[in-house]
Amino acid sequence: MFRRPIFEKLLPRFRGPRQFLQVLAGPRQTGKTTLAQQILSTLDMPSHYATADAPVPREAAWLEEQWEVGRQLARNGAALLVVDEVQKILGWSETVKKLWDQDT
């Protein structure tokens, strides 16, 4: 399967210590979801993929539920949480900041 050059730049970020949130941003239909799934399939760690792309808008509580799944996976070491289409969640950035700060 084709991998964009950005794949090789991102992979070490996910393998390293928890330091930053990683955001994949770009125009529609450019392979962001495919890239995230390639990263997930390559890493040897527990992971959870959730998408906010739904007919009914998701709320912050849904995001908090997904984050909790990630926390449970990370109880014994590193884990990766991918939230696709996070921008569709009302107040997502404030929620992510709060959750990130709680875990820091």
List of residues 6+ apart from 70 with CB closer than 8 A: 48, 79, 80, 81
Contact 32, 26 (CB under 8 A): yes
| 7-34: pLDDT as tens digits | 999 999 999 999 999 999 999 999 999 9
| 81-96: pLDDT as tens digits | 999 999 999 999 999 9
Contact 64, 33 (CB under 8 A): no
**pTM score, whole prediction:** 0.90
